[in-house]
Structure 1
Amino acid sequence: MAEYRVTGLSPEVIADLIAEVGPLWHKQHQDRLTSRPRRRAVGAGAKHKFVFVDRLLATLVSLRHGTTHDVLACWFGVDRSTITRAIGEVRPLLAQRGCTVAPGLRLGSLAEVIEYLGADGRAGIIDGTEIRVRRPAAGSKDRDKFVSGKTKQNAVKAMVLTDVDGRVLFCSPVWPGSCADITQARQLGLPHLLAGGPFLEILADAGYQGMGAQTGGRVVTPPHRKFRKNAPDWYEKRHEIQRKAHSTRRIRVEHGIAHLKNWRALARHLGRREHMSDIVQAVAGLLSHQQTAALSRSFPA
């Protein structure tokens, strides 16, 4: 179960997760036991047969392959409800870790990412990604707000920020699919962070046009098309060259999103939409940890 093909993580990364998340889970478990009235002492009674390491592995397999809880219950020899409860406990702890950019350095918020990029004058790339979800039940409030204007399907949307090499630095909580990319960036406070922070370059696609004026030119989008009809040949050639040059620079964010979508839980989610923010941020944190560990092995200090 701990092999890379099963979890998407190396044994070294899994060992780090056990050492880091294990104490948090045990503390959370003890707090839950002591917070309610009890007739017996804490620690008395039956002991856990489903230990934390197995709970962590079940959560990783669920995120990596989208395996159903029934199948995981058969693999681990427990009831399906035990798997559901275990994943519900471990997944938020993974989501709170943030993205690892270097050994011992982790970024947990958009402000920290902007500060990290601005310290060395590095460029970043942003883009929105959509994840298909189940349609809300008939008669539910705001049933149509999850319908994406681009794909015409029920989806949720997250904003991903990577560096110029495609390494994931930040993944936002999800918003309904009807939300525009630029609206989501504004709600996350990106224009304010860029306008009042260090000067750096953020590459974006046409969905963020207009944000450059709000950030003092820090957000760079594809060039506007000045001629809608009857454009001269020289203008068409120049516009195409500029558009391709910008696309070439920002293509790495698509590679970063593709690595995220390799985790089947983000390809299409059939469970509760309320869990999607934790799922997206947990996968982003795990992927960044694995990418950092791989770079550390390739280029040891």
Structure 2
Amino acid sequence: MSTLDKAIFFLGGTFSGHTHDYTMLKEEFPPGKAWFQFMKVLADLGYQGIVSDYSGENIRIPHKKPRKSKKNPIISLSDKQKEENQVLSKIRILVENAICGLKRYNILVHRFRNHRNNFDDDVVGIAAGLWNFNLRY
């Protein structure tokens, strides 16, 4: 999780292998509690079920392009939906830039070969701290 000035303020635990982002979110923040009730959450389309699983009025995801079917032959978004997606995209790109800032520390990009318990979480935390320090100075 990041702020609009690209500062990282929360890191979830690391997961091995290919784990979907929404699966990791549900493990870190189990549904049913009001985790995001007082936050403004802007998620991408990888978090499709977040609006129904979590409570909060400020949870927003982009509009998904509808699938083509006999009942719905027009497969485009309305101009209003496109504008809303563009507004969300302009804000979410700042979070993507924060993630990119973490990846500048090559230890997060390459295969991690240290086998100490929870050391990978520590490395990600150190990289986030360096990124936040880099933003201030």
Work out whether the TM-score is over 0.5. yes
Kept after mapping to 1: 8 A contact 2:67/2:75: no
* Map 1:29-44 → 2, pairs under 5 A: none
TM-score (norm 1): 0.39
Tell which has more relative contact order, 1 or 2 (C-alpha 8 A, sep 6+): 2
Identity %: 25
Q: What is the distance in 1 between the residues matched to 2:24 and 2:4?
A: 22
Q: 1:15-45: per-residue Cα shift (whole Å, max 9, x none)?
A: xxxxxxxxxxxxxxxxxxxxxxxxxxxxxxx
| Paired positions, count | 130
Report what 2:67 is aligned to: 228
Gaps in structure 1 of 5+ consecutive residues: 1-160, 295-301
1:202 aligns with 2:21: no
Range that drifts further, 252-261 or 163-172: 163-172
TM-align CA RMSD: 2.4
Map 1:263-278; keep pairs closer than 5 Å.
263-272=105-114, 274=116, 275-278=119-122
Residue 278 of structure 1 aligns with an amino acid whose one-letter code is D
After superposition, the Cα gap between the structure-2 partners of 1:181 and 1:273, relative to the gap in structure 1 and judged at 3 Å, is farther
Bigger helix share = 1
d(CA) in 2 for partners of 1:215, 1:192:
8
Structure 1 residues 242, 273: CA separation in 2 closer, same or farther (over 3 Å shift)?
farther
Aligned pairs for 1:148-297 (under 5 A) are 161-189=1-29, 191=31, 195=34, 198-213=37-52, 214-225=54-65, 227-229=66-68, 230-231=73-74, 235-272=77-114, 274=116, 275-292=119-136, 294=137
Output the CA distance in 1 between the equivalents of 2:31 and 2:88. Answer: 21
Q: Which has the larger radius of gyration?
A: 1
What are the ranges of 5 or more consecutive residues in structure 2 without an aligned counterpart? none
Higher strand proportion:
1
Tell me by how many angstroms 1:252 deviates. Answer: 0.4
User: How far 1:239 sits from its partner (Å)?
Assistant: 3.5
Q: CA deviation at 1:236?
A: 4.6
Alignment of 1:16-35 (within 5 A): none
The CA deviation at 1:207 is 0.9
